[in-house]
Amino acid sequence: METQPLGVAMIGYAFMGQAHSQGWRNARSFFDPAVVPELRVVCGRDAEAAGDLARRFGWQSVETDWRAAIARDDVDIVDICTPGDTHAEIALAALAAGKHVLCEKPLANSVEEAETMTEAAQRARVDGIRSMVGFTYRRVPAIALAQRLVADGRIGEVRHVRAQYLQDWLVDPESPLTWRLQKERAGSGALGDIGAHVIDLTQFITGDRLAGVSGLTETFVKERPLPRSSSGLSATAGSGTGQVTVDDATVFIGRFAGGAIASFEATRFATGRKNAIRLELNGTRGSIAFDFEDMNVLNVYEADADEPGFRRIQVTEPHHPYVAAWWPAGHGLGYEHGFTHQAADFLTAIAAGTDPSPSFADGLGVQRVLEAVETSAASGAAWTPITPPAIG
Amino acid sequence: METQPLGVAMIGYAFMGQAHSQGWRNARSFFDPAVVPELRVVCGRDAEAAGDLARRFGWQSVETDWRAAIARDDVDIVDICTPGDTHAEIALAALAAGKHVLCEKPLANSVEEAETMTEAAQRARVDGIRSMVGFTYRRVPAIALAQRLVADGRIGEVRHVRAQYLQDWLVDPESPLTWRLQKERAGSGALGDIGAHVIDLTQFITGDRLAGVSGLTETFVKERPLPRSSSGLSATAGSGTGQVTVDDATVFIGRFAGGAIASFEATRFATGRKNAIRLELNGTRGSIAFDFEDMNVLNVYEADADEPGFRRIQVTEPHHPYVAAWWPAGHGLGYEHGFTHQAADFLTAIAAGTDPSPSFADGLGVQRVLEAVETSAASGAAWTPITPPAIG
Amino acid sequence: METQPLGVAMIGYAFMGQAHSQGWRNARSFFDPAVVPELRVVCGRDAEAAGDLARRFGWQSVETDWRAAIARDDVDIVDICTPGDTHAEIALAALAAGKHVLCEKPLANSVEEAETMTEAAQRARVDGIRSMVGFTYRRVPAIALAQRLVADGRIGEVRHVRAQYLQDWLVDPESPLTWRLQKERAGSGALGDIGAHVIDLTQFITGDRLAGVSGLTETFVKERPLPRSSSGLSATAGSGTGQVTVDDATVFIGRFAGGAIASFEATRFATGRKNAIRLELNGTRGSIAFDFEDMNVLNVYEADADEPGFRRIQVTEPHHPYVAAWWPAGHGLGYEHGFTHQAADFLTAIAAGTDPSPSFADGLGVQRVLEAVETSAASGAAWTPITPPAIG
Amino acid sequence: METQPLGVAMIGYAFMGQAHSQGWRNARSFFDPAVVPELRVVCGRDAEAAGDLARRFGWQSVETDWRAAIARDDVDIVDICTPGDTHAEIALAALAAGKHVLCEKPLANSVEEAETMTEAAQRARVDGIRSMVGFTYRRVPAIALAQRLVADGRIGEVRHVRAQYLQDWLVDPESPLTWRLQKERAGSGALGDIGAHVIDLTQFITGDRLAGVSGLTETFVKERPLPRSSSGLSATAGSGTGQVTVDDATVFIGRFAGGAIASFEATRFATGRKNAIRLELNGTRGSIAFDFEDMNVLNVYEADADEPGFRRIQVTEPHHPYVAAWWPAGHGLGYEHGFTHQAADFLTAIAAGTDPSPSFADGLGVQRVLEAVETSAASGAAWTPITPPAIG
C-alpha cells in the first residue's frame, strides 16, 4: 500500500528557489522517502520568472500570491525561500492553515518574530504539523560526521571553538546595492546571512549553546551604486547610489555554556575566499577541522592514536551520513546536495511523525546570538549574555 | 517558435544509468538547451530494476529489449550505459536506425570494434546523426579550464605529462568477483576502466596524442569469491571462487607525438585513494596540476609571474566552463555534474548541427593506447608505437 | 683591513640559549657580517649546565653571575635569554655598561618595565649603543616576504587581520607546573608567551598598530603537579601540586588604527596543533596567508590577476629575504634559522651604525597590547583602547 | 675518561662542502656523540675559496692536494664532497690509508667503479675502517619514520611504489652549462643526480630492491651557453656554447623483487617544482606519502582505523627519529639537518664499531639501477633486469 504523495508549495524562485527545487526532486530520486513530494506550485510576484523555474524543474503550477498558494488543498508543505522580512508572516499563515513548514534561514529578522514563530510551531506540533529551519550546511556529510564524532566523545570535552565564514563578493566598491545590504529587508549583513550559519553549526556540532558574546561590526563601503532594476531598494534621494545599512563584516568572541571559549568571524570582504566556512574545535582528547572549500573532507585528530596526526577523512564512504544514496567512494558531492538531504530528512520526519531538526527553536537560538552580537557591537563591544530559550 | 523535444532511450540502469538520468534531467533544468530531452524509455533485462529507476527519475517507460527501445519512433537519442562488450552492437544498431548515440567509455573492448563503430559514426554523420563517447571527466570545470589554459599557451610547450588514476576498492581479497574483473565482459581491468580516463584527459588537455608506450600490468589477487548473484560470471568449476582475468593495476611510460615524455598509472589497489585522478603537466612556461580529490580546484604555475607559485584557482566563478549555470562562486560542484554538462553539450551540438566532442574517433584513439599497453605488457614491457588514426 | 670581532655574553642557557648559540655561530658562517661575533661567555646559575652548553657550542668561558659577565671588557654584546621577570634588570645594567643588548621577548613583564627599558635604550642610542628585542619570527623568510609585499601595496588597504598561535603542550592535566605557568616569573601565560608573537607579527606586517581590544582569557587546568625539581616554583602548601596563575588561552578582537578589524587567539590547548602560527590578512586588492606548520611557504592572492587564486610561493628562492645565504631553491629552512637572521641583522646594524629592528619601543608597543587584553579580560571583555607610544 | 676526538678531512668546499661543514659542527653541538669530530682540514684546488670556507666554519687548515690531506696523521675521517668522477680514486686512497670514509652520492660514475669501491670498503672493514655513502635524505625525520613504520608492517605488503624527484632549474634554455651537465664529470644527469636519491629511498623504505626496469631518458635542451668561467667544461669548438651530454629527465617503471610495481621520474624541467621529492607506497594494509616540499610531515593511511584517512603526522615530536636533539614539538627542521644526522650516525657507528648505513654496497645497488635505466633507455625502453649484488 502506497502512501499519498505530499504537495509542496515553494514561495520564492531565485537562488534558493532553484536549490530547493533540486532538493525536492532529488530527494525523491535518490532517497526514496516514505512519502513522495509532488512539486505542486511555485509562487512569485514575477509570474514570468516563476513560470520559467516551473518549466525547468517541473513545478506543476505558478501562483503570484503566496496566500493563494498556501490556501490550496493540494498543498501539504510550504517551503519559504523569500527574504527574511517575510518569513514570519508566511510561516505563521502556513502553520495556521495546517501546513508543514520549511523556512529558510535566518528564521526571522528579529528575536520577537522568531519567538512568535517558534510558539506557533509548537502549538501546531500538537496537531502533527512539522516545521524546520533551513540550516542546510548541517547536512554536508563531513559536518554531519563531525557532529556524530563529537557527540560520541571522540574529541572529549570541547575547549576551543573557532569559526569563520569568509566570502569576498563585496570587495569591489562598485558592486551594486541589493536587498541583502538593506537592514529593513535582510535584518543584518554578513552577520545574519552567513554568520548565522556558523553560529548554528557550532551549536549543532558541540550540542552546546553560546552563553555570551563580545563583538564588533564594520561597514567598509557605506554607499553603493543602485542596480539598474532597483525596485524595492531605498535610494539616497536624487543620486545613483544608496546607503548600505547592514554590516559588511563582524568579529566576535564568546563563551559556550559548557565552558569552551570561542572566536567567530563573518565577512564578505575576505579577498580570495569565496565560500570558506571554516570550523575548528579543540577538545581534551582531540580536534576536528573543516573548510567548505574542501567540503568532502573532515580532518580529525585523536591524541591517543599511535603516531597521531590530523586524519584527512574523505567523507564519501557508504557508511557516512547521506552518502550511500549517491555515488561510489571518492565521487564527491557538491554544495547543492545539502538541499536534497534537507528535503529527504523533512519528508522522513513527516512520514514518521517525528520532530525534524533544526527546529524553529534552534532558529530562535541563533537569532538570540545575532541580537546579542549587535547589542554588543552597538555598545562598544560590551559583554552581552545570551539567555537560554525558555521555549523550544 | 519552440523546437520539438528529443526522446532519449537509455540502455542500462545501474551506476551509470543513474548518473545519466541525472544528467539528462539537470541539463534541462540548469542549461536550458535549444532542444529539450524527454526521458522516454529506460531499457534493462531486469524489468523490475529498470522500472524502479524509471519511477525515481521520471523515465516514461521501460523496455527489456534494447532493440525494441532503439526501434521506437519517439526515440531520437540512444544513450548506452552497459558494459563494454555490448557497446559495439548497440551503437551500430542505433546509428543504423538513424539515432544520435552517446556511448559510455571505453568505446569498445577492442580496437577492431572501435574502428567499426567510428566508421559507422562517420557514415551516419553525413545524414546529420551525432555520436559522442562518454569521457565525462573532460567536463569537470577545472579540467575544462586546464584544457583552455594549455590551448592558450599559458604553460608553453608541454614537456612532462604525469597521470594517475588511483582507487582502492579491490584491496580486500574477499571483495567479490564482478563483471568488471572478467576480460570477456570488461575488456581489461584498471587499464580500460580508469586508465582510459586519464589517457583521454591527457590527450584532451595537451591536444596531442601518445605515440608510443612501454608498460606493465599486474593482477595482485588472482582469484576472488563469487558474489551471491553471479549470473553471467565465469566461475572456477566446483568452487565458490572465480578467476580474475583482468589487470588490477598498470604502470606505463610513453612519449607524446609532440615530444613530451609521460608517466601513467591506473590501479584499484592504492590503499586510501578513493578516486584520485591526478594530472600534472609541466611546460616551458608553466605547469598545471589537478587532483579529483579536490575537484573544484586547478593549480596553475606561471613562471613569468612576479613571485610565482602554484595558484590554487577555485574553478567556481561564473566565467569558468559550465559554472554559470549553477551556484554562486565558491559553492562547488560534485562528481555527478559532469554528466549534466555532457548531456547539455550533446543536446547543444545536435541543435546546432555541429560535431560533439569527444568523438568516436577520440574513443578509438584511446582504445589504441589501451591495446598498445597490453601488447607491451605481454612482451616484457617492450616499446610499442601507436599508429595515429587514419580515420577520425 | 679587518674590523675587530665583537664579544658576546649570553645570559641563559636553556632552550633559547641553544637557539641563540646556533644563531651567533651561523651568522658568522653563512652571512659573513661586517663585524664578526666571538662567543665569549655564557652565563647561568647552574655552572655545570652552562658549561655543557659552552662545550657543545664553543663558548669560550662560563660565568654564574650575570653582573660579572656584563662587566667584562671583552664583552660588547649582551644577549638576554632568561625568563621575562629578569629582562629589565639585566638590560638596564647592560645598557648602563655601554653594551649592545639583544633581549628575548616579551620585552618585560609589565608596561612600566618596558617603558623604563625603552627610555634607557633611547638614551644609550645617543652613544651608539644598539638594542633589539627578539621577535625572531619576523625573520622567517615567508613572513619577511609578507611584510615586503604588504608594504609594496600588493594587497591594498588591509581590512581584516586574523591571527592565531596554537599549541597543545598543556592539554594533559598531568603535565607539570613550570615557571612559564607562574605569573611572577612569566608575566602571563599563552598571552605573553605566544600571543606576543602574533601581536608583533601583525603590527610588523601591516605597519599599523592595534588601537583597541576586547578579550577573554581562560585557565582550563588550574592546578598542576609540581615537577621533581621545582626550585623557584610557588607550591600549594603541603601538597604535590601548585597553582597555575597565568592564562592557558586567550581570544580577543580588536581594531587597528588604520581601520582593519582583527581577531586573535593564543592557546596551549589546541589539541593537535604544535606550533601553528597562522596569519591571514585581507586587503582591498588581495590577501596573504601563512601557517608556520608550512613555514617555507607564503600564500598570496591578488584579485586583479588573470584567473586569480592563492599562489603557494615557496619562499626558498635566492631573491627572497635571507635565503641567498643558505641552500638552493626548494631546500627549505627550519625554525632555528630565524635566530641566525636575527644575529646577522643585529651585527649588521651595529657595524653600520643604524637602528636594528624590532626596537625596544616595538617591544613596548606589544607590551601595551598585552596589558590591554588583560585589562579587558579582567573587566568582562570591556573595550580597552591602547594609547600609542609617546616614546619610540 | 674522554675519548680522543677524530680529525676530519673534507675534500670539496662548494654546496656540499658547506652542508657537510654544518653537519660535522652541529653533530657535536646537538647530538653529543661518543667521539667528537675535529674539523682539521678542508681540501680544494682553489686555495682561496677553500680558505674562505675554513674561516667561516672553523676548519683548522686548508690543503690543495687531496692526497696530502688524506696522508695526514691527524686525519681519521675522509669526507668526499667532490663531483662523481673523482669519488673512486679518493675513496680507494683513503681506505688504503686506513681512514674512515664518508662519500657523497652517487657512489661512483659507473658500476665498475662502485664495485671496486665496495670491495675495498669490505676489505677495510676487517680492520675496523667504516665507510658510508651520503644518501642524506634517509635522515629526514619523516623519511626515517616512514622506514620504521613500513618495517613494522604498518602498511602491510607493499604493492605500489611511486617516486618522483622534480626540480625546474634547467627550464630556462639560457641557463649555462655546468659540470653537472657533462657526462664525463657527472656520469648522468637528472637520473644520477636526483633519481639516485629516490631509487635509494624507495629501496631503503621498502627494505626491498628493484629487480628490473624499463625506461626513457630525454635531453630537452641539447646545447647551452658556456658560463663565464668554464674551465674544465668541454665546449663546442669556436662557439660560446657547449653540448649537454646527460639526460634532462628520465621516467621509468619497474618491479621490486618482492612483487611491488613501481613508477619513477626524475627531472630538472618540472616548472614550478623546486625540490619535490615525492614518495608514495601503497600496501595491503595502508599507505604512506611524503613530499619534500612539506618535509616535516609524513602522511600515513591505515585501512583498519575507525574512520580512516591519511594522517598528517608532524614529525617533530621528541620520540621521532633525530628530533629529540633539536627543538620543541612543531618547531620544524630544514634541508640541512640531514647532514647533521648523517655525521652523528657515522660518528656513533665509528665509536660503537658497527656498520654505518647506507653502505657502499647500498650505493652500488643504486648504481646498478642507474645503469639498468640507461641500458633500457638506450635500447628502446627494453626491459632490463637488475642482478642483485653478490657482494654487500
For the segment D340-376, what is each residue's pLDDT rounded down to a tens digit? Answer: 999 999 999 999 999 999 999 999 999 999 999 999 9
Cβ <8 Å between B312 and C312:
yes
Cβ <8 Å between D255 and B309:
no
Please provide the DSSP assignment of B203-235 as one string: HHHHT--EEEEEEEEE-S--EEEPPSS-TT--P
pLDDT of residue B186: 87
pLDDT of residue B1: 44
Closest partner residue to A335 among B292, B293, B327, by Cβ?
A: B327
Cβ <8 Å between C263 and A262:
no
Helix %, strand %, coil % for chain C, to 5? 35, 25, 40
| pLDDT tens sequence across C206-230 | 999 999 999 999 999 999 999 876 5
Cβ <8 Å between A263 and C263:
yes
Which residues are bridge partners to A165 per DSSP?
Answer: A266, A277
Task: For residues B298-322, give the mean pLDDT.
Answer: 97
Residue in this structure with the C-alpha cell 656584563, named with its chain if needed: C70
Q: With beta carbons less than 8 A apart as the criterion, state whether C311 and B311 touch.
A: yes
pLDDT of residue C1: 45
Q: How far is D26 from chain C (nearest CA, A)?
A: 8
Interface test with C, best of D13, D39, D275, D292 (most C CBs within 10 A): D275
Residue C389 pLDDT class (50, 70, 90 cuts):
low
Cβ <8 Å between B327 and A19:
yes
Answer whether C24 touches D (CB < 8 Å): no
pLDDT of residue B235: 57
pLDDT of residue D240: 87
Answer whether D334 touches B (CB < 8 Å): no
Answer whether B220 touches D (CB < 8 Å): yes
pLDDT of residue A186: 87
Q: How far is B321 from chain D (nearest CA, A)?
A: 25
Q: How far is C282 from chain A (nearest CA, A)?
A: 5
Q: Which CATH number fits domain D141-294+296-333: 3.10.20.600, 3.30.429.10, 3.40.140.10, 3.30.360.10?
A: 3.30.360.10
Give the C-alpha separation, B253 to B212, whole Å. 8
pLDDT of residue B49: 95
- Within 10 Å of residue D385's Cβ, how many Cβ atoms? 12
Closest partner residue to B332 among A57, A273, A334, by Cβ?
A: A334
The residues of chain B that CATH labels 3.30.360.10 are 141-294+296-333
Instruction: Please indicate, yes or no, whether the overall pTM of this predicted structure exceeds 0.90.
Output: yes
Give the C-alpha separation, D28 to B305, whole Å. 43
Closest partner residue to C334 among D22, D328, D334, by Cβ?
A: D334
Give the C-alpha separation, D340 to A215, whole Å. 50
Answer whether A146 touches D (CB < 8 Å): no
Answer whether C263 touches B (CB < 8 Å): no
Q: How far is D273 from chain A (nearest CA, A)?
A: 23
Burial D82-111 (b: 16+ CB within 10 A, else e): bbbbbbbbbbbbbbebebbbbbbbbbbbbb
- CATH class for domain D6-137? alpha beta
Q: With beta carbons less than 8 A apart as the criterion, state whether B41 and B60 touch.
A: yes
Answer whether A323 touches D (CB < 8 Å): no
Give the C-alpha separation, D190 to D180, whole Å. 9
Residue C45 pLDDT class (50, 70, 90 cuts):
very high
Residues of chain A neighbouring D307 (CB-CB closer than 8 A): 145, 149, 300, 311, 313
pLDDT of residue D32: 85
| pLDDT tens sequence across B111-162 | 999 999 999 999 999 999 999 999 999 999 999 999 999 999 999 999 999 9
Residues in chain A, pLDDT under 70: 1-2, 229-238, 389-392
Order of strands, edge to edge, in the sheet holding C131-134?
C61-63, C37-43, C6-11, C77-80, C100-104, C131-134
Nearest CA in chain C to A265: C263
Which residues are bridge partners to D288 per DSSP?
Answer: D281, D300
Q: How far is D362 from chain A (nearest CA, A)?
A: 29
Answer whether C276 touches D (CB < 8 Å): yes
Q: Name the pairing type of β-strands A223-225 and A241-243.
A: antiparallel
Chains in contact with chain C (at least 3 beta-carbon pairs closer than 8 A):
A, B, D
Cβ <8 Å between C307 and B300:
yes
Q: How far is A18 from chain B (nearest CA, A)?
A: 9
Residue B229 pLDDT class (50, 70, 90 cuts):
low
Q: How far is B77 from chain C (nearest CA, A)?
A: 37
Answer whether B303 touches C (CB < 8 Å): no
pLDDT at residue C22 tops 60: yes
Answer whether D155 touches A (CB < 8 Å): no
pLDDT of residue A1: 44
Residues of chain B neighbouring A169 (CB-CB closer than 8 A): 328-329
Chains in contact with chain B (at least 3 beta-carbon pairs closer than 8 A):
A, C, D
Residues of chain B neighbouring C149 (CB-CB closer than 8 A): 307
pLDDT at residue C104 tops 90: yes
Cβ <8 Å between B308 and C307:
no
Answer whether B318 touches A (CB < 8 Å): no
pLDDT of residue D389: 67
| pLDDT tens sequence across B351-374 | 999 999 999 999 999 999 999 999
Residues of chain D neighbouring C315 (CB-CB closer than 8 A): none
pLDDT of residue A228: 72
Give the C-alpha separation, C142 to D191, whole Å. 31
Residue in this structure with the C-alpha cell 690509508, named with its chain if needed: D97
Sequence-distant (6+) residues with CB within 8 A of D183 are: D245, D246
Task: Give the count of alpha carbons within 13 A of A318, CB side only.
Answer: 2
> What are the helix (H) ranges across A300-359?
337-352
pLDDT at residue C388 tops 90: no
Closest partner residue to C331 among D275, D294, D296, by Cβ?
A: D275
Q: How many CB pairs under 8 A join A and C?
A: 125
Closest partner residue to C284 among A171, A267, A301, by Cβ?
A: A171
Q: How far is A93 from chain B (nearest CA, A)?
A: 30
pLDDT of residue D51: 97
Give the C-alpha separation, B344 to B364, whole Å. 23
| pLDDT tens sequence across A326-342 | 999 999 999 999 999 99
Closest partner residue to B330 among A275, A314, A329, by Cβ?
A: A275
Q: With beta carbons less than 8 A apart as the criterion, state whether B43 and B75 touch.
A: no
The residues of chain D that CATH labels 3.40.50.720 are 6-137
Burial of B151 (0-12, 13-18, 19+ CB in 10 A): exposed
pLDDT of residue D235: 57
Interface test with B, best of A28, A193, A327, A333 (most B CBs within 10 A): A327
Cβ <8 Å between A159 and C285:
no
Answer whether A48 touches D (CB < 8 Å): no
Residues in chain B: 392
Task: For residues C27-47, give the mean pLDDT.
Answer: 95
Task: For residues B284-297, give the mean pLDDT.
Answer: 98
Which of A175, B304, B295, B312 is closest to C301 using CA atoms? Answer: B312
Which grid cell is B136? 565525462
Burial D37-51 (b: 16+ CB within 10 A, else e): bbbbbbbbeeeeebb
Averaged pLDDT score across all residues of chain B:
95
pLDDT of residue A392: 47
Q: How far is D44 from chain B (nearest CA, A)?
A: 36
pLDDT of residue D237: 58
In the three-class reduction of DSSP (H, G, I as helix; E, B as strand; rest coil), residue B236 is classed as coil
pLDDT at residue B232 tops 60: no
pLDDT of residue D388: 81
Averaged pLDDT score across all residues of chain C:
95
Task: For residues D234-259, give the mean pLDDT.
Answer: 88
Residue B240 pLDDT class (50, 70, 90 cuts):
confident
| pLDDT tens sequence across B28-52 | 999 989 999 999 999 999 999 999 9
Give the C-alpha separation, B312 to B321, whole Å. 17
pLDDT at residue C234 tops 90: no
pLDDT of residue B388: 81
Residues in chain C: 392
Answer whether C313 touches B (CB < 8 Å): yes
Cβ <8 Å between D314 and C293:
yes
Q: Name the pairing type of β-strands D286-291 and D276-283.
A: antiparallel
CA D365, D371, D373, D376 torsion: positive or negative? negative
| pLDDT tens sequence across C295-321 | 999 999 999 999 999 999 999 999 999
